[in-house]
């Protein structure tokens, strides 16, 4: 199972919106609406930000939104804040009880 | 949410095995799938596998098949992951993460992580 493809880095100024992608195949992202996104600050455990493509867990800011088209999922962060600077990983169910993560995107707030 | 609590850091020699533990809330343990994910230094997340609530069924990523064993102990609400034939490439932080009833196909919450260092 190959890792999902994410851009290595994305940056934006405070208040701006950024969107980055997570590209897989019909065997994972394209085949199931079970894409989730995780934020990871340095030295910390990942934190769930989006599940089932576009749903936010309780407590997660509505500045975070997710979508999917075909084999590519996307995460949008609007109103970028300093605290959003972190690594972001997508994950997808890949059938037969297996999962795959993305390569990760480093978000920098300029 | 109550975060799973993982065992402490380990240092192992190449060829050895390591057994990690992850203790969860008793309220959710009996119905949660438990996953293990690792992260090598400066690298991304890698799914290792899962053990289902009955403790009988497991699913491992192909890369780890034959080398990983996941078990669970209901009385102590603890899951274990044993990885054998360690090499330097197994040096990583290992996380456990829950997949709770009603919150399927996502990992939440995560344990704090356990650093495993493989070095001669």
- Residues of B within 8 A of A91 (CB-CB) are 45, 47, 106-107
Say how far apart CA A92 and CA B3 lie, in whole Å. Answer: 22
Residue with tokens 């070095």: B119
- For A31-83, the pLDDT digits (tens) are 999 999 999 999 999 999 999 999 999 999 999 999 999 999 999 999 999 99
Q: Do A104 and B95 touch (CB under 8 A)?
A: no
Question: Could you tell me if B95 lies within 8 Å of chain A, comparing CB atoms?
Answer: yes
| Res A11 pLDDT > 80 | yes
Q: Do B44 and A46 touch (CB under 8 A)?
A: no
Q: Which helix (H) or strand (E) holds B27?
A: helix B26-29
Asked if B110 lies within 8 A of A91 by C-beta distance, the reply is no
* Nearest Cα to Cα of residue A34 among A103, A100, A84, A107: A100
d(CA A109, CA A107): 7
List the B10-12 sheet strands across, edge first: B10-12, B114-118, B92-99, B33-39, B45-51, B58-60
Q: What is the pLDDT along chain B (120 residues), one digit of tens a residue?
A: 789 999 999 999 999 999 999 999 878 888 899 999 999 999 999 999 999 988 889 999 999 999 999 999 999 999 999 999 999 999 999 999 999 988 899 999 999 999 999 999
């Amino acid at each position: 199972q190959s890792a999902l493809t994410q851009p290595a880095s994305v940056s934006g100024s405070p208040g701006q919106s950024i969107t980055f992608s997570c590209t897989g195949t019909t065997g994972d992202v394209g085949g199931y609406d079970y894409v989730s996104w995780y934020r990871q600050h340095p030295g910390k455990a990942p934190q769930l930000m989006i599940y089932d493509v576009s749903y936010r867990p309780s407590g997660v800011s509505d500045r975070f939104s997710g979508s999917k088209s075909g084999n590519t999922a996307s995460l949008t962060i609007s109103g970028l804040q300093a605290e959003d600077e972190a690594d972001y990983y997508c994950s997808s169910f890949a059938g037969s009880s297996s999962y795959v993560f993305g390569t990760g995107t480093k978000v920098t707030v300029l | 949410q109550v975060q799973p609590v993982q065992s402490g850091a380990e240092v192992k020699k190449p060829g050895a095995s390591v057994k990690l533990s992850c203790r969860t809330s008793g309220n959710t343990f009996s119905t949660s799938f438990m996953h293990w994910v690792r992260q090598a230094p400066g690298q991304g997340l890698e799914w290792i596998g899962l053990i289902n609530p009955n403790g009988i069924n497991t699913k491992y990523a192909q890369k780890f098949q034959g080398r990983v064993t996941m078990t669970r102990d209901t009385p102590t609400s603890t899951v274990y992951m044993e990885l054998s034939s360690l090499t330097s490439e197994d040096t990583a932080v290992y996380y456990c993460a829950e997949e709770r009833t009603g919150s399927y196909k996502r990992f939440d919450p995560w344990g704090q992580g356990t650093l495993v260092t493989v070095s001669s």
